[in-house]
Structure 1
Amino acid sequence: MTRFWLTTATAAAMAATLTASGALAQDVTLHFQHFVSPNSANPKYFIEPWAKKVEEDSNGRIKIEISPFMQLGGTAPEQFDLIQDGVIDGGWVIPGYQAGRFPETEALELPFMVPKSAEAASIAAWNYTQKYLMDDFENVHLIAAHMHGRGLVHMKGDAPETVEDLQGKKLRGPSRPATLLLEKLGAVPIGMPVPQFTEALSKNVLDGGVITWEMSPSLKLDELTDSHTDVAGDKSLYNLYFIWAMNKDVYESLPDDLRAVIDANSGLETSAWAGRAHDTGDAEGRAVMAAAGNQLATLSEEETAKVKALGDEVIAEWIADMDGKGLPGAQMVEDARALVKEAEAGHGS
């Protein structure tokens, strides 16, 4: 477990005072990991550039090593605890992979809650996090909170034209709100982390699933599915909430000037950057699916209205569930919607 902490040489360097002026001049190596291909949008357009910027801003005194595919150990659902416990220095987390542990995050994942622009959704996510989630994340150091882009239904065979076309279809869902909606739609939801999706499709365990455009190429959905269906309108069928975080003790052990570098690359603008990465990846992923000759479809306004009505049922039941847990369900939904509206106005959406 301890091998993922700072190296002995690094720790020794951190204890040294090397300049005549007395300023600390430590070199620090931080080990971060994520659970997807390095060629997918968030690693390519956010995680790796973020690490490079931190290194440059620190004049090379911070080095960040990024490991994809959970190469430092553990599974995607364990990522929060790996960071909290110091097994890794930092990483990318989907809190919803641990159903019930961070229930407040689900307000942003509810049907038709956030815009299809991941950047605007991520601005709302950071602001919502400040209001409702900092206590939940008090044992890690939060760098960014963001959403991905529009969530779609990807399936083997023809694109569904009606809600009834989803009846009995075995579809992968990434989170509790998503699986609740799939169930309302008459599908058979199967919850699983994204790394398992490709294998489940290739073995015909699934008829399809919900995920973004940007993840489609790395999951080989151009080969393993035939159709990709969005809902009408400017709101996403579903979405997923993420955090980019580091171990709190490691962060606090940094000298003041290096903590300042991390701080300068954290917060609202960094969260928006993470969202933009997904928007860029969505455009690229959609182009790959189109080039493969797959069917790109959008449900009609009438069918989308049916889906939204079922989504409203999910929201009402979610509020009741949160109330039963002693959480302000209706207030969280109201605040999430208000923050989304504010982000859209500021973003020009």
Structure 2
Amino acid sequence: MIKKLGLAVLATAAMGLSTAPAFAQEHVFKLHHFLGAKAPAQTKMLEPWARAVEENSGGKVKIEIYPSMTLGGRPPELINQVRDGVVDLVWTVNGYTPGLFPRTEVVELPNVYKNDPVATNLALFDMYEEHLSEEYRGVEPMFLHVHAGQAIHTVDKEVRNPEDMAGLKLRIPTRTGAWVIEALGASPVSMPVPDLPQSLSKKVVDGAFIPWEIIPALKIQDQTDYQIEGHDKTRFGTTTFQVSMNQNRWNSLPEDVQKAFRDASNREWAAEVGRIWRAIDEHGIGVATEAGNTHVTLTEEETAAFQQALEPVVQRWVDDMSGKGVDGEALVQTARDLIEQNTEGAGN
């Protein structure tokens, strides 16, 4: 059950707010998420987006950001919080609620997502209406995005080939990520990312599949020795996220306020979010190497061995979707084509 906080606690919990009084705005929204107020996801993405909406609205909108689950509950509860109207907006990981967004998983797959968050965000934007929208009943997505991709972080083992993964216990937030780990002969452990540092320090897990960007926020450099990725920043799949509003709240808004949100969440913003996550990923690996960690970049041959080992994950997803009456093979092809097209267009 979602913990109810007193008004005084809620007032002190809100982070990143302007000093303007809430009563000056006609429409006040609470945006709830699972990372800290200083995490780049808030400072580099959520705060600029919220300020853009407010500016677009001509002062009619105020978005209050509540980080670190300060409105109660645990990260996997975020999607139900927004669907039930407990909060107005959330930023959450789709994979925290397995099975709710299976079509969107297509861009998470290894060998579908490789190394380009800009192109992948644009592919999500282009696919949404025709291929993905029916999954988002009860919410109105503002935007979908991915991070820079799953890399391998290990406590004390250097990994160079799939065989090196055998027997390891590795954290992952999504079912597609779990399939990646299983295909490599390791054991997946699902948990929200805020739980990871303690699990690494106690050797509950031997490592994790996460991007570089989370390293500084959770001090992962203190719990691991190795950060491993493929040739040319190739990653082993990715994770999808959404910023979504309660559907009834959205439907109640006047057209000009809806437009303020839409204009701040357009196709160019999707590309910008990809650039933001690429930049903060580079910062994250810099923090790790400055702390003395080893950044391993696999050779082309080593990367190809991982890609070959992970191709069955794509087929496993296709087969799973076929069981749901969805043409997974066509979705994979659509995602690959759009990522390729948007890579060319993005100039990356």
**C-alpha separation in 2, matches of 1:191 and 1:214:** 19
Cα pair distance change 1:2/1:249, threshold 3 Å: farther
Provide the C-alpha distance between the structure 2 equivalents of 1:28 and 1:329, rounded to a whole number of angstroms.
40
SS in 1 for 2:228: strand
Aligned equivalents of 1:253, 1:150: Cα separation in 2 = 36
Partner of 1:120: 119
User: For residue 192 of structure 1, what is the aligned residue in structure 2?
Assistant: 191
CA shift, 1:40, in A, is 2.2
**In structure 2, distance between residues paired with 1:158 and 1:138:** 43
CA contact (8 A) 2:144 2:241 kept: yes
- Residue 130 of structure 2 corresponds to 131
Per-residue deviation, residues 193-213 of structure 1 (Å, max 9, x unmatched):
212111211221011111011
Q: C-alpha distance in 2, partners of 1:233/1:26?
A: 47
SS in 2 for 1:190: strand
Residues 96-143 of structure 1: CA deviation (Å, up to 9, x unaligned):
211122211111111121242322221112222222211111321111
> Are 1:2 and 1:87, in contact at CA under 8 Å, matched by a contact in 2?
no
**What is the CA-CA distance between 1:172 and the residue it aligns to?**
0.5
Residue by residue over 1:307-336, the C-alpha shift from the partner in whole angstroms, topping out at 9 and shown as x without a partner, is: 111211111121111111111010111111
What CA distance in whole angstroms lies between the structure 1 residues aligned with 2:237 and 2:74?
23
Change over 3 Å in CA distance of 1:326–1:29 after alignment to 2: same
Which ranges of structure 2 fall in alignment gaps of 5 or more residues?
A: 6-23
Alignment of 1:51-200 (within 5 A): 51-200=50-199
Kept in 1: contact 2:107–2:335 (CA 8 A): yes
CA contact (8 A) 2:4 2:72 kept: no
1:235-277 Cα distance to aligned partner (Å, 9 max, x none): 4311011111111222222233222211211232222222222
Letter in 2 for 1:175: T
Aligned twin of 1:215? 214
How far off is 1:284 after superposition? 0.9
**Greater Cα offset, 265-274 or 181-190:** 265-274
Superposition pairs of residues 1-349 of structure 1, within 5 angstroms: 27-233=26-232, 235-349=234-348
The one-letter amino acid of 1:192's match is M
Secondary structure at the residue paired with 2:217? coil
Contact 1:2-1:86 at 8 Å conserved across structures: no
| Contact 2:25/2:59 (<8 A) preserved | no
Segments of 4+ in structure 1 off by > 6 A?
A: 1-4
Find the aligned partners of 1:272 and 1:3 in 2 and give their Cα distance.
37
Q: 2 CA distance for matches of 1:275 and 1:83? A: 24
Residue identity matched to 2:112 = M
**Cα distance in structure 2, aligned partners of 1:182 and 1:101:** 21
| Cα offset, 1:227, TM superposition | 0.6
Letter in 2 for 1:190: V
Alpha-carbon contact 1:40-1:214 (below 8 Å) kept: no
Other structure's SS at 1:239 match: coil
Query: In 2, are the aligned partners of 1:139 and 1:248 still within 8 Å (CA)?
Result: yes
Distance in 1 of aligned mates of 2:212 and 2:107: 19
Q: Distance in 2 between matches of 1:121 and 1:202?
A: 33
Alignment check: 8 A CA contact 2:3 2:71 kept: no
| Partner SS, residue 136 of structure 2 | coil
Q: Partner letter of residue 317 of structure 2?
A: W
Contact 2:3/2:73, CA 8 A, preserved across alignment: no
In the TM superposition, residue 84 of structure 1 has moved relative to its aligned partner by 1.2
User: In 1, distance between residues paired with 2:207 and 2:265?
Assistant: 36
**Secondary structure in structure 1 of the residue aligned to 2:189:** strand
CA contact (8 A) 1:158 1:227 kept: yes
Is 1:90–1:244's contact at 8 Å kept on the other side of the alignment? yes
Contact persistence 1:172–1:206 (CA under 8 A): yes
2:8 corresponding residue in structure 1: none
| Alpha-carbon separation, structure 2, partners of 1:3 and 1:107 | 36
Q: Pick closer, same or farther for the CA change 1:181–1:2 going to 2, 3 Å.
A: closer
Amino acid at match of 2:266: G
Q: Which stretches in structure 1 are left out of the alignment for 5+ residues?
A: 5-24
8 Å Cα contact 1:125-1:147 kept in structure 2: no
Aligned residues of 2:149 and 2:211 also touching (Cα < 8 A)? yes
Contact 2:153/2:208 (<8 A) preserved: yes
How many angstroms apart in 2 are the aligned matches of 1:2 and 1:134?
31
Q: Secondary structure at the match of 2:295?
A: strand
CA distance in 1, matches of 2:259, 2:161: 52
- The DSSP-based 3-state class of the residue aligned with 2:135 is coil
Please tell me the residue identity of whatever aligns with 2:65. Answer: I
Give the CA deviation at 1:2: 12
SS at match of 2:231: coil
Maintained 8 Å contact 1:155/1:207? yes
For residue 45 of structure 1, give the secondary structure of its aligned residue in structure 2: helix
